[in-house]
Amino acid sequence: MARLALQRAIAPQWVDEVFAEHRQRQYPRELLFSTVVELMTLVSLGLSPSLHAAATQTKHLPVSLAALYEKVNRTEPAILRALVQGSAQRLEPVLAAWPCQASLPGWRVRVLDGNHLPASEKRLAALREQRGAALPGQALVVYEPDLGLVTDLIAVEDAHAQERSAVAPLLECAGPGELWLADRNFCTSTILLGWHQAQASFIVREHGRSSPPLASSGPWVDAARIETGQVREQRIDLKSGLQGWRRIELQLDQPTEAGDTVIRLWSNLPAAVGAHEIARLYRKRWRI
């Protein structure tokens, strides 16, 4: 079943069509991009320990190993995003037929998180133990828990860049009926206002320094208790002129791994969604 699902999601002919549509610099000559994806799939699924091993086990690789690595190294980020978006669209009708309880009925929940690729031992030996050494890259990943699918991805070639600097393409595609969940790294005026202007909703953890400046805040109102602590909320108005956003505070019974005893969340969800429900939704933000 897993093999059939992958064959449906990343069929070779479709992969080559995506490559042809979104490529800018690369071109196919002797090595098709679908062959590269097939080899990398073997590595990502743990069926082969490395790209080199997968390539040497392939009987009909039409190019040298050096040419294969050159092709992989020059893969364009736009192609990767198109592959993730397209494969999710191809699998969504299958998953939609399975029974699933919506995280928040009436909303399309989208979880945004950053993922730094791990440092490779194939780097220069003198730099392997240095924190400032070059890293392979990072990605902004959009995960939809109700589908169990990663539905969008922004590949960032600079692993040391701020995650928030690459969010613009995701803001452009946001729309009504979506609920975005994100951690404190995305609690900035540009991102929150971008979602709000797109008529999308959000639940984002408060950042002590980069959060949008407030014009005023209302009194705290006790809401309810959830499994991990006591919840209360207040109305907040921004200096930019926006009014009626909500700040939810969760007093934790047990500190987080970082030692935090209080988690504050910002949201523009309507009052019909209770503060306790917002706190519960954020707890589901990202689970592996």
Residue spans of the domains in the chain: they are: 2-76, 100-283
The more confident residue out of 132 and 94 is 94
Cα–Cα distances (Å) from 122 to 45, 46, 61, 135, 203, in that order, read 20, 18, 23, 11, 39
Q: Could you tell me the fold of the domain covering 100-283?
A: Transposase Inhibitor Protein From Tn5; Chain A, domain 1 (3.90.350)
Across 256-274, average pLDDT: 92
What confidence tier does 121 reach under pLDDT thresholds 50, 70, 90? low
Query: CA 64: distance to chain centroid?
Result: 34
Across 264-283, average pLDDT: 93
Distance between CA 263 and CA 15 in Å, rounded? 43
Specify the length of the chain in residues: 288
What confidence tier does 220 reach under pLDDT thresholds 50, 70, 90? very high
What confidence tier does 76 reach under pLDDT thresholds 50, 70, 90? very high
Cα–Cα distances (Å) from 214 to 211, 248, 268, in that order, read 9, 15, 14
The more confident residue out of 27 and 186 is 186
What confidence tier does 118 reach under pLDDT thresholds 50, 70, 90? low
Mean pLDDT check: name the lowest of 47-61, 128-142, 200-214, 215-229: 128-142
Q: How buried is 116 (Cβ within 10 angstroms: 0-12 exposed, 13-18 middle, 19+ buried)?
A: middle
Query: 249 phi and psi, to 5 degrees?
Result: -115, 130
| Per-residue pLDDT, 288 | 47
Across 33-57, average pLDDT: 91
Distance between CA 256 and CA 184 in Å, rounded? 14
What confidence tier does 123 reach under pLDDT thresholds 50, 70, 90? low
